[in-house]
Amino acid sequence: MAPMRVVVLVSGGGTNLQSLLDAGWTGALGAAEIVGVISNKPGVRALERAAAAGVAARVVDHRGFAERAAFDSALKAEVQSLGADLVVLAGFMRVLTETFLAGFEDRVINIHPSLLPAFPGVKAQAQALHYGVKITGCTVHFVDAGLDSGAIISQAAVPVLDDDTEESLQARILAEEHRLLPAAVADLAAGRVRREGRRVHRVL
């Protein structure tokens, strides 16, 4: 059986992308293969990581488009040109619209640094510290047209320590993201995940 073709969308440093690339090298991605990386910003470290791994690296600069829908259309065309079966948002700092998502139902996932539905959007770690929660974490979820509102695939909990700063909490959450995201991609490629409405079931 042909591997699941995965395209990763990025905006920055690409440490979650690196976790996926590393998992591919070790076989931990199972039946998934990273076939392309697309950034909405030129010159970011994630593009260098892709190039170093021999993976197609492209840029669709959102600043070149007057409307979000036009950007999403161009981005979708690039993703489709790579033959993507699954799209992974790994530090991709744009909210995708229905223009992109139509036709990709249950084939776009995101990693977010909180236990959703708590603390959606940006600066989730700062939000956790502000509200004084004792446990936060990270979530892999299907992407819909809302803000971090899609059905949850998997989560990992991280304790919030009394002396935590935003940076120290971010580092511990990120370590869990690097474990959780490749595992979720491998599960999807193996058909071990099935969504029914808001609920996601694991198939043994």
Give 49-105 pLDDT, tens digit per residue: 999 999 999 999 999 999 999 999 999 999 999 999 999 999 999 999 999 999 899
> What global pTM score does this model have?
0.96
- Answer yes or no: is pLDDT of 1 > 80: no
Instruction: Measure the CA–CA gap between 186 and 197, rounded to whole angstroms.
Output: 21
pLDDT of residue 197: 84
For the chain, which residues make up each domain, given as ranges?
Answer: 4-194
Tens digit of each residue's pLDDT (9 = 90 or more) over 93-142 = 999 999 999 989 999 999 999 999 999 999 999 999 999 999 999 999 99
| Per-residue pLDDT band at 198 (split at 50, 70, 90) | confident
Instruction: Measure the CA–CA gap between 156 and 173, rounded to whole angstroms.
Output: 9
Instruction: Measure the CA–CA gap between 156 and 44, rounded to whole angstroms.
Output: 27
| Active site positions, annotated | 112
Q: Does domain 4-194 have CATH number 3.90.1640.30?
A: no
| Per-residue pLDDT band at 169 (split at 50, 70, 90) | very high
